[in-house]
Chains A and B, each alone.
Chain A
Amino acid sequence: MTGSPERGQNTARSPTSDPQQDPRNDRQLVYSARLGDERAFDALFYRYRDGIFRLAVAITKDPRTAEEIVVDTFARAYRALERLEPDDSLRPWLYRVAINESYDRRPRRGYTTSPLEDAADDLVASEDGSPAERAERAELRRVVLEAIDTLGPKHRTVVILHYLNELSLAEIAVIAECPVGTVKSRLHYALRHLRTHLSPHPGLRVEPRGSRGATGIR
């Protein structure tokens, strides 16, 4: 890494010039990064940057804070390179750090700097349909996101990791450091809570999507 004398000046060449296309697995990238391969660390960064960013936005509701969390998470990873021993994936470690960072910076109840629904407004404008339909969909999202926000941290984290970051229950279990059964239980509780919370809302009539499995287990 530039400007880090302790890391040395070894800049081993990666198989590809674009770090975002690096085919090496996490373990290989971690070992290369330890030897001072900047591209290896960059490849890890680009591989997980957006996932961590979305997770952080979902928890903190503030894109700027989420970017800080991305930076801090990878800064911690850089400092921990010597100790990290990833079997196949660095993802559980990174996500665990990011979750802790996000809850540390999550605004207190009743104080939100930039609500999640506001953060998505710029993307709503690019959707199809009339302005009225888009407004209706935005309102629907707002209600659902508010319902997710009423969940406790453990259940909310499982919902975010599963439905936003599209992690499997097994991966979530590694991140949460609990058995897969516990993750299933939390997810089931969360869905039931959301169902109960959303059912009184008159506008919630959405057809089920066929793309996702009924059990949610991937």
Chain B
Amino acid sequence: MRERRRPLSLGERLETEALIDGAFAPLRRRRASVGPTRVRAAVRWGRVGPARPVPWAARVARVSELAMAVGFSVFVFAGSLASAPGERVPTGEAPEMLEVAVVDDVLVRRAFWVPEAPSAPDAERPLVVPLDDHLDPSKPLPAWIGAQPVGGQPLVAFIVR
């Protein structure tokens, strides 16, 4: 350590400087082969500075961003396809028709209300449903034969004509 702190003698200094001079001598004679035209081109094209390599972490980040973007796009696209049929959301203003079938020459309709809707009938009361008869719209539908709540589901009414 003491040796490292000791100042160089004149001879040591000259010797070291001579070594450095000799090492740099070939390089000192070198000349660049570029001209100002290349500078003009660089200015015109706006490319100044090294083309830096993308670090590993940045690459991972870009791949993650890309994966997220693709996943989100697929999710949105699939969602748009799923909602395409446009299933109507029951409002409770009128019963929703679930199915229409003819059983033994009797037209059976099954409909339901959304229980929380203001116009939904009480499960205890008989149902009076102003449904249109889609087979013969000019005639009113006959009376209802009953209604029943179906285990937490909307109220279901069976219509028989």
Is A119 among interface residues, defined by CB-CB distance under 8 A?
A: yes
Interface pair B33/A67, CB less than 8 Å apart: yes
- The interface residues of chain B lying within 8 Å CB-to-CB of A164 are 24, 27-28
Interface pair B24/A163, CB less than 8 Å apart: yes
Shortest distance between the CB of B68 and any CB in chain A (Å):
32
- The interface residues of chain A lying within 8 Å CB-to-CB of B36 are 19, 38, 41-42, 45-46, 74
Q: Given that A195-B16, A206-B15 are contacting pairs, would A72 and B21 also be in contact in the complex, using a CB cutoff of 8 Å?
A: no
- The interface residues of chain A lying within 8 Å CB-to-CB of B39 are 45, 71, 74-75, 78
Is B106 among interface residues, defined by CB-CB distance under 8 A?
A: no
Within 8 A of A (CB), among B5-41: 7-8, 10-36, 38-40
Shortest distance between the CB of A166 and any CB in chain B (Å):
8
Within 8 A of A (CB), among B55-109: none
Residue of A with least CB distance to B15: A208
Which of B44-52, B113-121, B142-150, B152-160 interfaces with chain A? B44-52
Is A172 among interface residues, defined by CB-CB distance under 8 A?
A: no
Interface pair B15/A144, CB less than 8 Å apart: no
Interface pair B32/A206, CB less than 8 Å apart: no
Interface pair B48/A75, CB less than 8 Å apart: yes
- Given A140-B23, A159-B20, A191-B8, 4 more pairs with CB closer than 8 A: A70-B34, A120-B27, A148-B23, A209-B14
Is A27 among interface residues, defined by CB-CB distance under 8 A?
A: no
Is A177 among interface residues, defined by CB-CB distance under 8 A?
A: no
Is B54 among interface residues, defined by CB-CB distance under 8 A?
A: no
Shortest distance between the CB of B45 and any CB in chain A (Å):
10
Give Cα A76–Cα B42 distance, bound, in whole angstroms.
10
Interface residues on B, range: 35 or more
Q: Given that A50-B32, A70-B32 are contacting pairs, would A214 and B44 also be in contact in the complex, using a CB cutoff of 8 Å?
A: no
Interface pair B19/A144, CB less than 8 Å apart: yes
Shortest distance between the CB of A6 and any CB in chain B (Å):
10
Instruction: List 12 A-B pairs, Cβ < 8 Å.
Output: A42-B36, A58-B27, A71-B34, A75-B43, A79-B48, A104-B50, A120-B27, A120-B30, A141-B22, A195-B12, A206-B19, A209-B21
Is A218 among interface residues, defined by CB-CB distance under 8 A?
A: no
Interface residues on A, range: 35 or more
Is B4 among interface residues, defined by CB-CB distance under 8 A?
A: yes
Interface pair B34/A119, CB less than 8 Å apart: no
Interface pair B16/A214, CB less than 8 Å apart: no
Is B136 among interface residues, defined by CB-CB distance under 8 A?
A: no
Q: Given that A124-B26, A192-B8, A214-B10 are contacting pairs, would A140 and B43 also be in contact in the complex, using a CB cutoff of 8 Å?
A: no
- The interface residues of chain B lying within 8 Å CB-to-CB of A57 are 27, 30
Shortest distance between the CB of A42 and any CB in chain B (Å):
5
- The interface residues of chain B lying within 8 Å CB-to-CB of A169 are none
Give Cα A66–Cα B31 distance, bound, in whole angstroms.
11
Shortest distance between the CB of B53 and any CB in chain A (Å):
11
6 nearest A-B pairs in the assembled complex, by CB-CB distance: A208-B14, A120-B26, A53-B32, A144-B23, A123-B26, A75-B42
Give Cα A210–Cα B18 distance, bound, in whole angstroms.
9
Give Cα A159–Cα B17 distance, bound, in whole angstroms.
10
Is B124 among interface residues, defined by CB-CB distance under 8 A?
A: no
Give Cα A157–Cα B14 distance, bound, in whole angstroms.
20
Give Cα A164–Cα B28 distance, bound, in whole angstroms.
6
Is A198 among interface residues, defined by CB-CB distance under 8 A?
A: yes
